[in-house]
DNA sequence: CGTGGGCTTGATAGTCCTCAAGTCGGGTGG
DNA sequence: CCACCCGACTTGAGGACTATCAAGCCCACG
């Protein structure tokens, strides 16, 4: 008996295929098509082509975004090594977002029929896939909340904490020296700010001894304060 | 053979149980527990209790929201008659949002085991449920985009258009006289604005002949212009 | 070494918020 | 039936935050 909605607080569901049993691993192996390599800042999936494309990121970071009025863009989520790309869209059919590499990226393309087969014969895997999508949606809702309610300092604190925790969840990382490959403009586009103001706000966070972003790395100097700014109850750190 | 990610552009997936076949209808009937009635502005599901609660709205509107830093709130989505409440949370296990009635509300509670049973023995229904969650997530991403990229006029235009289209999708409604039971504060909390500024912006939209909100009803006077403001390509109206 | 992209910083302006007072309308109790 | 009352709406003035625009700097890279 697999558990659905059993209350596990597994918000950062990753490694979808790990410990799924023979069926899941076999499916994964059988449906891996090819490997792609991208330099930084290239289109992996264009707006509209989603639905057939399904990738698993082997190395590097990416992000998915929507364009607004053919002018600006909103980054919806960042994609870390080990995570899946295009799963949510594969379930809905089509969505209007694109995916781009943030750093040099290596990903393996999966056959989108994986999803259909999972639903047909691997309910346990299907549940994992759905949980994955729900966790993605949860992150977007968190981001929406901090953008709708918070000022620039709180938004940046949230972004730092969120990306730090996602990395810490999957591997041991030093809070004082975490990978953080976003440029100013990426933070701006994710948080509804401008690059210039992101820069000013980062300065303030550094001066206040909260956190430092430098050389594509994040150094968290005061985790409790960062979490407080990000709107996270201190108990949940 | 049921279709998964087949490219159907069914973004407003509703009536999840309609035409699912015997299994789906039987499940729905068997797992309907009781009916609840709420006056306007009452808590239907509190933050954290989600996961076991699953409702289907029979009459009235609701909305789900998150609180930020114990002070303000972000409305994530509105819930219209016929729609499901708590499904996304039932899949993930727990999320930190609450659900409240916007108008007087009648809803029937469903047994959350519906989800588990669907995955075990009704793959077609499971796919529909997942599509439903994906469509919800899609709406949240649209909202995030317009809040991150647009000004007050564009945000309000988006909200009007979005709620109009969701109603038009399920029943014939007059664009010149659509139900729109949100107060100023609801629009503000959904769009990252203040009630006062929502009011000023509504005035401008009325003076510009785009749309009028009055007496809990929306009157769209210039649909193409409204859509353009909302960031929707004119072809997609 | 030249070059280009990203970063940094300043000055200015605009959007939106805050606070507050006044108005309106619907519901309630006398 | 009327007076009251409370919540929602409306509008104004002032201020805070963030955007815009622009220029110079630094560094990585060819």
Contact A91 B6 (CB under 8 A): no
Distance A183 CA to C5 C1' (A): 11
Backbone angles phi, psi at A2, to 5 degrees: -90, 155
pLDDT at A236: 59
Output the distance from B208 CA to C20 C1' rounded to whole Å: 28
Tell me what percent of chain B is helix, strand and coil, each rounded to the nearest 5. Answer: 45, 25, 30
Q: What is the pLDDT of residue A28?
A: 63
Confidence of residue A74 (pLDDT cuts 50, 70, 90): very high
Q: Do A91 and B135 touch (CB under 8 A)?
A: no
A216 CB neighbours strand C below 7 A: no
| Rounded Cα–Cα distance for residues B140 and A143 (Å) | 10
User: From first to last of its 237 residues, what are the pLDDT tens digits of chain B?
Assistant: 344 433 334 454 446 665 445 555 566 666 677 899 999 999 999 887 766 789 999 999 999 999 999 889 999 999 999 999 988 888 877 778 999 999 999 999 998 887 888 888 888 888 888 889 999 999 999 999 999 999 999 999 999 999 999 999 999 999 999 999 999 999 999 999 999 999 999 999 999 999 999 999 999 999 999 999 999 866 555
Q: What is the pLDDT of residue A17?
A: 65
pLDDT at A25: 58
Contact criterion met (CB < 8 Å) for A92 and B135: yes
Between positions 186 and 205 of A, the ones with CB within 8 A of B are 189-192
Residues B10-24 have pLDDT tens digits of 454 446 665 445 555
pLDDT for res B114: 79
Residues of A in contact with B135 (CB under 8 A): 92
* Angstrom distance (rounded) from CA B184 to CA B196: 8
Dihedral Cα B186, B62, A137, B1, nearest 10 deg: -150
Q: Which residues, 6 or more positions from A200, have their beta carbon under 8 angstroms from its beta carbon?
A: none
Contact B7, A95 (CB under 8 A): no
- The answer to whether A67 and A126 are in contact (CB under 8 A) is no
Which tens digit of pLDDT belongs to each residue from A81-117? Answer: 999 998 888 887 777 899 999 999 999 999 888 788 8
Quick check: A148 and B147 CB within 8 A? yes
Is the C-beta atom of B152 closer than 7 angstroms to strand C? yes
Q: What's the pTM?
A: 0.91
- For position B234, what pLDDT does the model report? 62
Distance CA(A114)–CA(A164), nearest Å, equals 30
- Whether residue A71 is predicted with pLDDT greater than 70 in this model: the reply is yes
Better pLDDT: B183 or A47: B183
Q: Does A135 touch chain B (CB under 8 A)?
A: yes
Residue A29 has pLDDT above 70, yes or no: no
C-alpha distance from A155 to closest chain B C-alpha (Å): 12
Q: Whole-angstrom Cα distance, residue B59 to residue B105?
A: 6
Q: Minimal Cα–Cα distance from A148 to chain B, Å? A: 4
Instruction: Give the mean model confidence (pLDDT) for residues A116-139.
Output: 89
Closest-CA residue to B132 (of B77, B95, B177, B171): B77
| B contacts of A154 (beta carbons < 8 Å) | 69
Closest partner CB to A93 (pick from B7, B147, B191) = B7
Query: Count of CB atoms within 10 A of residue B237's CB?
Result: 13
- Cα(A2)–Cα(B167) distance, integer angstroms: 37
The CA–C1' separation of A38 and C9, in angstroms, is 34
Q: Which residue in B89, B109, B84 sits closest to B13, CA to CA?
A: B84
HSE value, Cβ hemisphere, 13 Å, CA-based, for A14: 16
The pLDDT value recorded for residue A51 is 64
B35 three-state secondary structure: strand
Pairing outcome for strands A32-38 and A43-45: unpaired
CB-CB neighbours of A172 under 10 Å: 6
pLDDT at A9 over 50: no
Nearest chain B residue to A53, by CA: B5
User: Who among residues 173-192 of A has its Cβ near strand C, under 7 Å?
Assistant: 183-185
pLDDT in tens, A179-235: 999 999 999 999 999 999 999 999 999 999 999 999 999 999 999 999 999 998 665
- Contact pairs from chain A to chain B, CB under 8 Å: 179
Higher-confidence residue of A70 and A199: namely A199
Q: Is the pLDDT of residue A160 over 80?
A: yes
Q: Which has the higher per-residue pLDDT, A93 or A158?
A: A158
Our measurement of CA B195 to C1' D4, in angstroms, reads 27
Q: How confident is the model at residue B52, as a pLDDT?
A: 73
């Amino acid at each position: 008996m697999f558990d659905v909605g059993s209350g596990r607080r597994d918000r950062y569901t990753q490694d979808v295929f790990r410990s799924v049993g023979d069926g899941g691993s076999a499916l994964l192996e059988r449906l891996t098509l090819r490997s792609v390599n991208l330099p930084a800042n290239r289109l992996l999936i264009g707006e509209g082509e989603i639905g057939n494309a399904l990738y698993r990121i082997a190395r590097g970071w990416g992000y998915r975004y929507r364009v607004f009025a053919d002018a600006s863009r909103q980054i919806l989520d960042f994609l870390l090594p080990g995570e899946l790309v295009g799963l949510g869209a594969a379930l809905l059919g089509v969505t209007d977002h694109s995916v781009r590499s943030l750093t040099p990226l290596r990903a393996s393309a999966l056959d989108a029929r994986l999803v259909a087969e999972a639903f047909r014969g691997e309910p346990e895997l299907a549940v994992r896939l759905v949980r994955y999508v729900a966790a993605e949606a949860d992150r977007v809702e968190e981001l929406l909340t901090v953008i709708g309610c918070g000022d620039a300092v709180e938004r940046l604190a949230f972004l730092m904490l969120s990306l730090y925790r996602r990395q810490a969840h999957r591997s041991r990382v030093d809070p004082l020296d975490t990978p953080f490959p976003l440029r100013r403009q990426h933070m701006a586009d994710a948080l509804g700010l401008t690059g210039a103001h992101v820069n000013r706000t980062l300065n303030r966070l550094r001066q206040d001894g909260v956190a430092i972003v430098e050389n594509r790395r994040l150094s968290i100097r005061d985790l409790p304060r960062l979490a407080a700014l990000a709107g996270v109850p201190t108990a949940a750190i």
